[in-house]
Amino acid sequence: MYDRDTIELALLALEEGMSQGEAAELAGVARTTVGNWERGRLPHARSEKRAHRRTRPPQRAARMSAPDAKEGPLNEVERAAYEAAMTENMLLRAVLDDLKGAGSHPASMSNRRKCELGERLRAATGRPLREITAFLRISRSSYEYWRARLSRPDKYAALRGRVRELFEEGGRNWGYRTIWARLRREGRRASEKVVRRLMREEGLEVVYNRRRRRGWSSYEGEVSAAPPNLVARDFSAAAPDELWVTDVTEFRVPAGKVYLSAVVDCYDGRPAGWRIGPRPTASLANGSLLDALAARREGARTVVHSDRGGHYRWPGWIAICGEHGLARSMSAKGCSPDNAACEGFFGRLKNEFFHYRDWEGVSLAGFSERLDAYLRYYCSGRIKRSLGWLSPDEYRRSEGWAA
């Protein structure tokens, strides 16, 4: 459910001549959602009110915009409501002018930014402070606290700007620890607490979709005899290509469905091979395994662990494993924790790349290209705390393994 401020800001942006895409970016919602609002399809509490307002006869609209032309004088309640509506409309327009092109919205602002905006609104509109704080949803005490701090020089001004830049570079997915580690790689000295505070003050919050989804399952019953579980939930590996985990996951986008088959190396979490396609076929799983084998270091003795999906029990998969000397291992039936390393990889991938992204208008081919590019970035550019804030490729080079 979207709040009133979000809806009002999007509709006001459309009235100001912005496109649906621009209004959607400003309000932080999907373009199709803004299109529905523009056509009068609004959430429950506001739909009737907005539809009535949009279909109001011209003469009624004129009376609302000019109360003196109304037949008979307004009573005190009507006048108070009219003045409150006009004040809110004026403040919304002032906010819109201030935020155009910034991609921000009052609901997502930190108290610091609300105070900065509030001071500009006071100068532009002349409204009393109580109306400004009520509109921006900030308490008077918090407003006064930040107003006092804003009057002093900000010793973290340069660092604050770089933190915002890094947060955007990471697709708004990097938390304060990753931002802190990247600052250190640039030679900037700041504690984790300072970075965390600056991100909180700037409203830079990583938001993951934690709603439970009904996931796609490749399990098709007992196609052939299952090998034993050689891993027993111990996903550690002393060297690359000793232990691989694999699975297939589904992405649903407006254009259709895309499936990813990935083989993940438990040594450092690096995807060793992957294939992307429109259907979860056996060739998709076989192809990802062949890609991993093409880059396997010579002489490695590898265990490949999977769930009990049919892809890993067909003759083609079994033949590939036998030809290359892979030891097969399988989870217990319907027990996802037995393949937790691969499930965790897919979870991070979807949080950072897929969830909370607007995929409207993106073709299946375009989505597949972006997914492939992200997986390559995961190998060479995504730093991990467990690897000493290095990417998997950097970690392998530091440990003497060619990447």
Q: What letter does residue 241 receive in the DSSP assignment?
A: T
**Residue 111: other Cβ atoms inside 10 A:** 19
Per-position DSSP letters for 285-307, written without gaps between them = HHHHHHHHHHTPPTT---EEEE-
Distance CA 9, CA 18 (A): 11
Q: What is the reported pLDDT for 99?
A: 52
Residue 125's pLDDT band, with cuts at 50, 70 and 90, is confident
Question: 61-112 pLDDT, tens per residue?
Answer: 333 344 444 445 556 665 666 566 666 666 665 555 555 444 455 555 677 7
Give residue 357's region: left, alpha or beta (phi > 0; psi -120 to 50): beta
Question: 227-265 pLDDT, tens per residue?
Answer: 888 988 899 999 999 999 999 999 999 999 999 999 999
Exposed/middle/buried for residue 200 (C-beta within 10 Å: 0-12, 13-18, 19+): middle
Higher pLDDT, 117 or 272: 272
Secondary structure (3-state) at 259: strand
Lowest-pLDDT range of 269-273, 275-279, 296-300 = 296-300
Per-position DSSP letters for 5-54, written without gaps between them = HHHHHHHHHHHTT--HHHHHHHHTS-HHHHHHHHTT---HHHHHHHHHHH
Q: What is the reported pLDDT for 19?
A: 79
How many CA atoms does the CB half-sphere of 140 hold within 13 Å? 4
Contact 35, 22 (CB under 8 A): no
Distance CA 321, CA 290 (A): 10
